[in-house]
Amino acid sequence: MNSNSDFIPVSKPYLTQEAKTFVVDCLDSGWISSKGAYVERFENEFAEKCGAKHAISVSSGTAALHLALLCLGIGSEDEVIVPDLTFAATANAVILCGATPVLCCVNKDEWTLDVNDAEAVLSDKTKAIIPVHLYGNPARMHEINDFAKRNGLSVIEDCAESLGATLDGRYLGTFGDMGCYSFFANKLLSTGEGGMVTTDSDALALKIRTLRDHGMSTEKRYWHDIAGLNYRMTNIQAAIGVSQLNVFDEFAKARSEQEALYKKYLTDVPGVIFKRVIKGAIPVNWLMSLRIDEALSGISAAELQGILTEHQIESRLFFYPLHQQPPYSNERAALKSTDVLSSSGLSLPTFVGLSCEDIQRVCEIISTAITNRQRSLSK
């Protein structure tokens, strides 16, 4: 922990007093493992919140993605389309199944999967597609679903960064066959570590529940029809989850007000570009993310990050494109477009408890840095 009071982290969880009460309840009652009332309650309330028929809690977002792929029977002969710009877990889950992640370009303005390029990488082996609602921005689910339907593909939505975002009034995660969520400490809802799979399919839900619990029959204890994993969430994690759901709407509102403030202060700063949101979509502000067009600002995202660090403000560069990294390495020319997007992206502090003054300070440092650079360049 940084003890300096001027330091602003890029993200931190906000835990309520109720979280403490619920956790103490787990400890007092002895229900600390994956059985207990909070697990069922969290699953039921989460399903209801998202408008999904089933919600199955798991130990992480990666576990959620892995189980979603496994329950579809995806294996070694199969290919799964994933966006080139995402957190690596999206592709890792595919590799964990023995299948091959096939990288697809992302739209440079929306930062989400480009369906035209998905068309280009489609093959006889393609079985599924995993759109990612990156930085809380809804992907083009209608086009993606049309494409999947035409080609007999399953759709798994990676909602790790988009809990609470909607498209045409419906929560993300309910458009595909399954939605996968993460509750890591820096996500929109946190249980420390944890995740969830949502689905409307009774058959998929049963398969996920079984695979999550060693493959054990849900009717006959200690009987296994299939070999599974232990990806269960604990009652303690679920207790925190229930407390977080109770304040979720309030927290999401605070985050969106922070976004509005950032936009207000940065909107006329040369070279600062916000993401484009598709028609009918309401994003969620997971991390206030923007692009720095160096041709207009005179400064790169990485340089700006350095200046923010000098002022004790933590920020985050965008993910490295998967195609550049050894496990997913891919030379396809079209993927070069992700390089520009990735290297120009910057995420700024966003968390419940961040003050208006903090946001103003961050924005002033950015606009001063850009103004100074432009002045020195025009000399």
Active site (catalytic) residues: 187
Q: One-letter amino acid identity for 321?
A: P
CA 348 to chain centre: 16
271-291 residues labelled b (16+ CB within 10 A) or e (exposed): bbbebeebeebebbbbbbbbb
Q: 231 vs 262, which CB is nearer to ligand PLP?
A: 231
Asked if 90 is part of the footprint of ligand PLP (rule: CB under 6 A), the reply reads yes
Stretch that binds ligand PLP, among 75-83, 87-95, 230-238, 264-272 (CB under 6 A): 87-95
Asked if 289 is part of the footprint of ligand PLP (rule: CB under 6 A), the reply reads no
- Tell me how far apart the alpha carbons of residues 162 and 155 are, in angstroms, rounded to a whole number: 16
Asked if 160 is part of the footprint of ligand PLP (rule: CB under 6 A), the reply reads yes
Asked if 86 is part of the footprint of ligand PLP (rule: CB under 6 A), the reply reads yes
Asked if 97 is part of the footprint of ligand PLP (rule: CB under 6 A), the reply reads no
Q: Which of 13, 46, 52, 62 binds ligand PLP (CB under 6 A)?
A: 62
Q: 137 vs 297, which CB is nearer to ligand PLP?
A: 137
Asked if 46 is part of the footprint of ligand PLP (rule: CB under 6 A), the reply reads no
Neighbouring C-alpha atoms within 13 Å toward the C-beta of 148: 23
Q: How many residues bind ligand PLP (CB under 6 A)?
A: 14
DSSP labels, 39-52: HHHHHHHHHHHHT-
Asked if 157 is part of the footprint of ligand PLP (rule: CB under 6 A), the reply reads no
Binding flags for ligand PLP, 175-204, as an x/- string (CB under 6 A)? -------x-x----------x---------
Phi and psi at 372, nearest 5°, equal -60, -45
Q: 156 vs 307, which CB is nearer to ligand PLP?
A: 156
Q: 83 vs 271, which CB is nearer to ligand PLP?
A: 83
DSSP labels, 22-38: HHHHHHHHT--SS-SHH
Q: 159 vs 299, which CB is nearer to ligand PLP?
A: 159
The distance of closest approach from Cβ of residue 286 to ligand PLP in the complex, given in angstroms and rounded to an integer, is 8
The Cα angle at residue 360 between residues 359 and 365, in degrees rounded to 5: 100
The distance of closest approach from Cβ of residue 361 to ligand PLP in the complex, given in angstroms and rounded to an integer, is 27
Classify the phi-psi angles of 121: left when phi > 0, otherwise alpha if psi is within -120 to 50, otherwise beta. Answer: alpha
Neighbouring C-alpha atoms within 13 Å toward the C-beta of 61: 29
Q: 145 vs 347, which CB is nearer to ligand PLP?
A: 347
Closest CA to 102 of 34, 153, 43: 153
Q: Which of 60, 210, 258, 315 binds ligand PLP (CB under 6 A)?
A: 60
Asked if 315 is part of the footprint of ligand PLP (rule: CB under 6 A), the reply reads no
Q: Which residue is nearest to ligand PLP (CB)?
A: 61
- Tell me how far apart the alpha carbons of residues 231 and 207 are, in angstroms, rounded to a whole number: 13
Asked if 158 is part of the footprint of ligand PLP (rule: CB under 6 A), the reply reads yes
Residues that bind ligand PLP (CB under 6 A): 60-62, 86-87, 89-90, 132, 158, 160-161, 182, 184, 195
